[in-house]
Chains A and B, each alone.
Chain A
Amino acid sequence: MAQNEVLLRVEGLSVAYGHINALKNVSLEVHRGEIVVLIGANGAGKTTLLETSLGINTPNSGDITFKNKSISGVPADRNVRAGLCLVPEGRGVFASMSVLDNLLLGAHHNMKNVGKNLKRVYQWFPRLEERKNQVSRTLSGGERQMLAIARALMSAPELIMVDEPSLGLAPIIVNDIFEILVHLNQEGYTILLSEQNAYKSLKCAHRGYVLETGKVTLSGTAGELLNDPGVREAYIGA
């Protein structure tokens, strides 16, 4: 695997909401072809890190580079155009819109290849094709998560950031979702994942970072983290 090229680099990133420091001097790297997982409890700063990388928040200090270009302060729509995308926490599916409309929203900046991409996405998620004219509100939680991932794929991304995909889903469905992510990774997509479910996510990731109250406290290969006593105690419960 060509894991040398750094696709996303976060260096010394600090983000504050008012007086609350959500991220303090966070650095991480995602190489092309990897699945990297951010492990952390609620409020550790995972969502802030992903949203700031996408261009939703402005960093107080530090730098974010994507494909060797600084993207700090670049608005989200331009980053999406450049190949970055986010599958939001809680899916972020537009409930009153049809499945197809949701997919087309993902292609907002990539309408040229929309037919080809739709076909590909339907191959991966046949159920979405069956339900393309259904209002998304009628989908199950797992189907919504698939729709959110499929929508991200419609933008032809190079890096897919997935925020807590397992949140609120039944364990069997969570397995399906992780399987899909691994499959997408094998197809060539680079994935940055945030998860509270450390065991399952580390099982499918290459590397991981542990985020605690806005700071990276530990990082390593997935195997190292799985065997780390601290991680096992705090996040796996073994």
Chain B
Amino acid sequence: MQTFIAQVINGLSLGSIYVLLATGFNLLLLVAMIIHFAYPQVVVFSMYIAWVVLRYTGNSIVLAVLAAILSSVLLNLISAPLFQQVMKNREEVDINTTMVLSLGIGMIITDVLSHGFNKGLPIAFPSKLIGETPILRVGLISLQGGQVASLAVGVLAVSGIFLLLYKTRPGRAFRAIAEDPNGARLVGIPLLRTGFESYALSGVLGGLIAVLLAMLLGYSSPGLGEQVAHKVLAVSIIAGLGNLVGGLVVGLALGILEALVQGYISGSWSNAIAFVVMLLVMLFKPRGLFGIKL
């Protein structure tokens, strides 16, 4: 029982990171109309930036968080014109081309990380960020600072995004584009500029995720982005592409499932199991558990 509770706690904190990643990924899919496979790589790049800042500022966590957010926003905004140029040239939204473009960006990021930082070796985050001693310990169950933070920030960030989507002017424009881009254009919503805003928003989210991942895992490596990218894709497809609520439920569920597999079978199976679930869902519900929202 104690193992179970401990693994559910692990799973919830891991799951809330999946939820955040899927939310950022879906925002870009819905509003900017791109499939940004490399979004997790952008996040991992920001982990590295946070790591560098921690090293050179004597472990200033505030500066590290700011730097992570800044780097992820900047990376998103730099790549935005690339994606938009492709769309403009073809005079239509072309999700396939953006997918390939994104894969390319991901590879470049991975290469930069493996050549530019720490000789390509995994980096470890200082214990000041991770929090060495657990906040709470009961038998096998222990609660780490990173776990609490990722759950708390996860809840806050997701509610913030839903508030923004349903209560603000840019959020309304986001939803209009998500439902009917052409209709939105006829009403006078500028597609490219509003899309640009969604790059910025998912950038802010990406920076937060970077810090949470660093707290939770305690390390990062050039290959981490790709691993996480596979999971995020699985979450989005299981839930139904573009389905924010679906991403919320499936992200948490996958986190818990993975943690349970880790606790009772072996960690090395967790990836395979995520994809077995995805294949089964695809077989019986091709539009995902919650339905594609595009």
Instruction: Check: B176 CB closer than 8 A to any chain A CB.
Output: yes
- Size of interface on B: residues with Cβ below 8 Å to A: 16
Instruction: Check: B173 CB closer than 8 A to any chain A CB.
Output: yes
- Of chain B, the residue at the smallest CB distance from A101 is B172
- Of chain B, the residue at the smallest CB distance from A58 is B91
Say whether B176 contacts A79, CB under 8 Å: no
Instruction: Check: A162 CB closer than 8 A to any chain B CB.
Output: no
Instruction: Check: A95 CB closer than 8 A to any chain B CB.
Output: yes
Stretch at the interface among A24-32, A34-42, A61-69, A106-114: A106-114
Residues of A within 8 A of B190 (CB): 75-77
Question: Which residues 139-186 of B have a CB within 8 angstroms of A?
Answer: 169, 172-173, 175-176, 179-180, 183-186
Say whether B179 contacts A95, CB under 8 Å: yes
A234–chain B nearest beta-carbon distance, Å: 29
Say whether A92 contacts B189, CB under 8 Å: no
- Size of interface on A: residues with Cβ below 8 Å to B: 26
Instruction: Check: A167 CB closer than 8 A to any chain B CB.
Output: no
Say whether B188 contacts A85, CB under 8 Å: yes
Question: Which residues 18-73 of B have a CB within 8 angstroms of A?
Answer: none
Say whether A105 contacts B173, CB under 8 Å: yes
Say whether B185 contacts A76, CB under 8 Å: yes
* Binary per-residue interface labels of chain A (87-104) against chain B in the complex, 1 for a CB within 8 Å, 0 otherwise: 010001011110001001
Say whether A56 contacts B176, CB under 8 Å: no
Question: Which residues 54-84 of A have a CB within 8 angstroms of B?
Answer: 54, 56, 75-77, 79-81
Cα distance A77–B187 in the bound complex, in angstroms = 8
Most buried by B among A81, A85, A92, A155: A92
Residues of B within 8 A of A111 (CB): 169
Say whether A105 contacts B179, CB under 8 Å: no
Say whether A81 contacts B188, CB under 8 Å: yes
Instruction: Check: A51 CB closer than 8 A to any chain B CB.
Output: yes
User: Count of A-B contacts with CB under 8 A?
Assistant: 58
Residues of A within 8 A of B185 (CB): 56, 76
Residues of A within 8 A of B183 (CB): 88, 92, 94
- Of chain B, the residue at the smallest CB distance from A88 is B186
Say whether A108 contacts B188, CB under 8 Å: yes
Instruction: Check: A153 CB closer than 8 A to any chain B CB.
Output: no
Instruction: Check: A86 CB closer than 8 A to any chain B CB.
Output: yes
- Of chain B, the residue at the smallest CB distance from A86 is B186
* Binary per-residue interface labels of chain A (6-24) against chain B in the complex, 1 for a CB within 8 Å, 0 otherwise: 0000000000000000000
- Of chain B, the residue at the smallest CB distance from A95 is B179
Most buried by A among B184, B185, B189: B185
**If A92-B180, A94-B180 touch, does A80 touch B175 (CB 8 Å cutoff)?**
no
Say whether B176 contacts A92, CB under 8 Å: no
* Binary per-residue interface labels of chain A (107-124) against chain B in the complex, 1 for a CB within 8 Å, 0 otherwise: 011010000000000000
* Binary per-residue interface labels of chain B (174-216) against chain A in the complex, 1 for a CB within 8 Å, 0 otherwise: 0110011001111111100100000000000000000000000
**If A88-B183, A108-B169, A111-B169 touch, does A94 touch B188 (CB 8 Å cutoff)?**
no
Cα distance A164–B5 in the bound complex, in angstroms = 61
**If A104-B172, A111-B169 touch, does A79 touch B187 (CB 8 Å cutoff)?**
no
Instruction: Check: A207 CB closer than 8 A to any chain B CB.
Output: no
Cα distance A147–B175 in the bound complex, in angstroms = 18
Instruction: Check: A151 CB closer than 8 A to any chain B CB.
Output: yes
Cα distance A235–B186 in the bound complex, in angstroms = 28
Say whether B189 contacts A97, CB under 8 Å: no
Say whether B180 contacts A77, CB under 8 Å: no
Cα distance A51–B179 in the bound complex, in angstroms = 20
Say whether A97 contacts B175, CB under 8 Å: yes
Residues of B within 8 A of A105 (CB): 172-173, 176, 184, 187, 189
Say whether A80 contacts B188, CB under 8 Å: yes
Residues of A within 8 A of B179 (CB): 94-97
A10–chain B nearest beta-carbon distance, Å: 18
**If A92-B180, A94-B183, A95-B179 touch, does A79 touch B172 (CB 8 Å cutoff)?**
no
A112–chain B nearest beta-carbon distance, Å: 12
Most buried by B among A94, A109, A111: A94
- Of chain A, the residue at the smallest CB distance from B192 is A75
Cα distance A97–B166 in the bound complex, in angstroms = 10
Say whether A109 contacts B176, CB under 8 Å: no
Q: Which 10 A-B pairs have the closest CB atoms?
A: A80-B188, A77-B190, A92-B183, A77-B188, A88-B186, A94-B179, A105-B176, A96-B179, A105-B187, A86-B186
**Chain B contacts to A: CB under 8 angstroms:** 169, 172-173, 175-176, 179-180, 183-190, 193
20 A-B residue pairs with Cβ-Cβ distance under 8 Å, sorted by A, are A51-B186, A76-B188, A85-B188, A86-B186, A88-B183, A88-B186, A92-B186, A94-B180, A94-B183, A95-B179, A96-B179, A101-B175, A104-B172, A105-B172, A105-B173, A106-B187, A108-B173, A108-B187, A108-B188, A151-B187
